[in-house]
Amino acid sequence: MPHPRQHATNPLAEISAAPEGLTATVPRQLVHRASLAETLITGGTSTDTDRFTVFAQWPRAHQLHVSPDRRMYEPLLVAETVRQAGTLIAHTAYEVPLGHKFVLKEMRITTRPEHLAVGPAPAEPALRIAVSDIDHRGGRPAGIRFDTDLWLGGERVATAHTAATWTSEAVYRRLRGGRTEATVSALPVPPGLPPAAVGRALPADVVLAPPDHPDRWQLRVDTAHAVFFDHPLDHVPGMLLLEAVRQAVRARDGRRIPVSFHTVFHRYAELDRPTWIEAFDKQGAYDTDVHVVGQQGESTVFECAAGTAEE
């Protein structure tokens, strides 16, 4: 059950000091980004108890989040925007200290690609967010579930349901058993598929190696990638795993693209162990038709039911 919070003041009001009519991003630390260029959120406000509106700006060109021909925003841009918005709310509205570690548990994204065309100016979506459940531990919030409607130009272009938890640095380190950014090294990066086979323009953005058998690929984890590894990590980030889903769908059938994702993250994907991505046809809820699984050894790292459409 949700735990109501009465906001005597707007908890998001101080995150942007830009004069009215001008746009600035929120402090990058509030969305767990190191690069200002990868910070999408521009502001926000609370509208009611556990309800918020968050604003963003999308660039017209981006190596991952805009299609290579610069005509369309990628559905995974919605996922990254929702992730950043949830992180912002956690820090500003639920008083999660900076430095706490976030764990993405579940993300369900549905997009309407026909409304994701790149226009003559950067798009400025509004995210209407309702927090539906707050997990309390020791009297403090330790996780939330929230639903998001993403609006752009008067159209609702995407919906999302997200679950995330967080923990202190000390507890996180105990959970990780001493694995840190400094002590864990990624495996050598294997050769990748041709970029065109996965709908990418640059070889560096390919995250799948050639298959060892049909519809099964090793994940390419390049810790030097400036977007996936915007800052040092001790594990494979969730957005890289979602990109693997996207590329697996394209590699199986170059005529189809994923437009929705229902992903459950079961455990950390370790940098120093090979991750195998396997895809197969499977009809599921929310009009999904492809199932993608990530494995490390005998352990399932994540599962994603993807809904696809003709490009």
3-state secondary structure the chain: CCCCCCCCCCCCCCCCCCCCCCCCCCCHHHHCCCCHHHCCEEEEEEEECCEEEEEECECCCCCCCECCCCCEECHHHHHHHHHHHHHHHHHHHCCCCCCCEEEEEEEEEEECHHHCECCCCCECCEEEEEEEEEEEECCEEEEEEEEEEEEECCEEEEEEEEEEEEECHHHHHHHCCCCCCCCCCCCCCCCCCCHHHHCCCCHHHCCECCCCECCEEEECCCCCCCCCCCCCCCCCCHHHHHHHHHHHHHHHCCCEEEEEEEEEECCCCCCCCCCEEEEEECCCHHHCCEEEEEEECCEEEEEEEEEEEEC
pLDDT in tens, 275-311: 999 999 998 887 889 999 999 999 999 999 999 998 8
> Mean pLDDT throughout 169-191?
94
> Mean pLDDT throughout 165-169?
94
The pTM of the whole model exceeds 0.85: yes
Task: Return mean pLDDT, the chain.
Answer: 92
Whether the per-residue pLDDT at 170 is higher than 80: the answer is yes
> Model confidence at 3, in pLDDT bands (50, 70, 90)?
very low
Whether the per-residue pLDDT at 144 is higher than 60: the answer is yes
pLDDT in tens, 207-243: 999 998 999 999 999 999 999 999 999 999 999 999 9
- Residue 296 has a pLDDT of 98
- Residue 114 has a pLDDT of 94
Q: How many CA atoms lie within 13 A of 17 on its CB side?
A: 1
Query: pLDDT above 90 covers what percent of the chain?
Result: 84
- Residue 20 has a pLDDT of 60
- Residue 7 has a pLDDT of 44
> Model confidence at 17, in pLDDT bands (50, 70, 90)?
very low
pLDDT in tens, 249-282: 999 998 899 999 999 999 999 999 999 999 999 9
> Model confidence at 10, in pLDDT bands (50, 70, 90)?
low
pLDDT in tens, 82-110: 999 999 999 999 999 999 999 999 999 99
- Rg (alpha carbons) of the chain, rounded to whole number: 19
Of the candidates 251, 242, 249, the one whose C-alpha atom is nearest the C-alpha of residue 209 is 251
pLDDT in tens, 114-131: 999 999 999 999 999 999
Q: Could you tell me which residue, 302 or 19, shows the higher pLDDT? A: 302
Token pair in block for residue 256: 């189809």
Q: What domains appear along the chain, each with residue ranges and CATH number?
A: 28-170 (3.10.129.10), 176-310 (3.10.129.10)
> Mean pLDDT throughout 50-54?
96
